[in-house]
Amino acid sequence: MRNWLEYIPFIIFAKLVRALPRRTALALGRKLGSLGRWLLPRRREIARVNLQHAFPEMAAAEREAIIRQMFSYLGTGFAEMLRLDLSKEAACIERDFIIDGQEHLRQALAEGRGCILLTGHLGFWEAGNFIFSKLGYPIGIVAKSMRNPLTDRYFLRMREMAGGYIINSRNGARRILKALQQNHLVGILIDQHAGRHRGVKVPFFGRPAWTTPIIAELAMKYRVPIVPVFCWWLPGDRYRLEIAPMILLEGAQTPEQVVDNTALMTRIIEAAIRRDPAQWFWVHRRWRE
C-alpha cells in the first residue's frame, strides 16, 4: 500500500510533465525542485553539513545559494528525464547538446576492449542513457534498484526506452564484463557511499569515503580504457557533454594499487565538482562509516 501511495502522485506528475511543452515542463521541474528544498529538511541539512566539510572556507550565504541551485537542478533533471523518450519536443542533440571530445571515445573503442565511462551524480547525469545511444554507441549504465518496485520498473522502462540498458549494480559483474567484451560503453557512477564490505577508503574532499573499486579492478585486470565524462547544465535548458582523453591504468593488480587507482578516479570526480559545486548531489550521505 505504501508503494502505491508513493507511486500514484508520481505517475500523475509524470503524465503532466510529458503532456507539456519541454520548456514549460522543465520550468515546472525547477519549481518542484525549489519546493523540495522546503519539503525535505533532512536532505537540506545533509547538503549543508556536506558543504561545510567540503568547503570550510566558503561563506555560509554562498553555501546556501549552492543548495538552492542544486535543488533547482534536481527538479529540472527529474522533469527532463521523464521526457527523454518522447519524439515530439524531447531533448535532441542538435538543439540541446554541445559535445566536446567525441574523438576520445572513438580512440578508446578502437582498442576493442569496450570502454568504461567514469562519471558521477553531477550535472544531468541521466543524459548518458539518451545521448550516447543517439550518437550510435551501445551503452549499459550500472545503477541500483529503487526501493519502490513500482517506481523502479517505471524508471527502468524510461531509461531503456531512451536507448541504453541498465545493469543492476548488485549482481551485474558478468553483464558488465559481457558488455565490455562486445565493445560497448559501460557507465559507472562511483561517487556514492559503497560501504565497508564492498568499498575501499579513499580521500574525497579531504575526508575518507568508502568508494567502489569496480572501475580500477576491471580496468586493471582487462586493460579496459577509462573515459571521464560529465554532462553540465548550461543556461537556456541546454547541456555541455565533455568527454576527456582516455586513461589506461598502470601497475600491478595488487590491493594497494586498486586503492591508489580508485583514489585517482575519485580525484577526477572531485575536480569536476569543484568547477561548479551546485551541480553535484550534495543531499547524499557520502561520508559514512
For 40-50, the pLDDT digits (tens) are 999 999 999 99
- Summarize pLDDT for 193-204 with one digit per residue, the tens: 999 988 999 999
| Distance in angstroms (rounded) separating the CA atoms of residues 106 and 72 | 34
Place of cell 550518437: 135
**Mean pLDDT, the chain, as a whole number?**
93
* Main-chain dihedrals φ then ψ at residue 55, nearest 5 degrees: -130, 70
Q: What is the Cα–Cα distance from 173 to 218, expressed in whole angstroms? A: 10
Q: How confident is the model at residue 86 (pLDDT cuts 50, 70, 90)?
A: low
Residue 169, pLDDT score: 83
What percent of the chain has a predicted confidence (pLDDT) above 70?
98
pLDDT of residue 90: 52
CB 166 within 8 A of CB 141: yes
pTM: 0.93
DSSP state of 84: T
pLDDT score for 87: 52
Which one, of 80, 118, 37, lies nearest residue 234 by Cα? 80
From edge to edge, which strands make up the β-sheet containing 226-234?
97-100, 238-243, 226-234, 115-119, 185-189, 139-143, 165-168
> Is the pLDDT score of 89 beyond 70?
no
Q: Which residue has the higher pLDDT, 154 or 225?
A: 225
Does residue 30 register a pLDDT over 90?
A: yes
Per the structure block, which three cell numbers stand in for 15? Answer: 503524465
Classify 118 as helix, strand or coil.
Answer: strand
